[in-house]
Amino acid sequence: MRLVILEDYDQASEWAAKYICNRIIQFKPNQGRYFTLGLPTGSTPLGCYKKLIEYHKNGDLSFKYVKTFNMDEYVGLPRNHPESYHSYMWNNFFKHIDIDPNNAHILDGNAPDLQAECDAFEKKIEEAGGIDLFVGGDDSYNRCT
């Protein structure tokens, strides 16, 4: 874990986005080697996501060979509900970058067996080779445990 103290939210968002960008670029992902990113939701990472979208649109960063795993979702809220984390991530990040939708993993809060959903999610993370970089927000915790 790294602690970086900056003057304000915008500086922190830009620092985090640059760090993520540099880690992905240095990893040199390709068709046989994906970079795996753990992502939070909520208001904390929104500025970072906006900067990452900017880097992508400027041609500085591609998510073509990136897999993401979001750490949370509401139980019982339909994925197309505007307050779901699925909707949040697609509206605020994924639809603005070149990530393959099959590589953007978000828990299903409506799964008939939530423990099985969490177990399957953990298995997908293992199959991806683990998380290369996990980004946490100010209230991050794993909701599967």
Identify the pLDDT of residue 141: 40
Q: Tell me, rounded to whole angstroms, the distance of Cα 132 from its chain centroid.
A: 12
Q: How far apart are CA 128 and CA 137, in angstroms?
A: 23
What parts of the chain have a pLDDT lower than 70? 1, 137-145
Q: Among 139, 142, 133, 137, which Cα is nearest to 21's?
A: 133
pLDDT at 140: 43
Report the sign of the C-alpha dihedral through residues 28, 106, 71, 16, in that order. positive
pLDDT at 43: 86
How do residues 116-143 score in pLDDT, each as one tens digit?
999 999 999 999 999 999 998 665 443 3
C-alpha 136: how far from its chain's center? 9
pLDDT of residue 143: 36
Please enumerate in sequence order all residues whose Cβ is within 8 A of that of 83, keeping only pairs 6 or more positions apart, or say none.
74, 77
Distance (Å, whole) CA 77 – CA 79: 6
Classified as helix, coil or strand, 113 is coil
User: So what's the pLDDT on residue 144?
Assistant: 36
User: What is the pLDDT at residue 139?
Assistant: 52
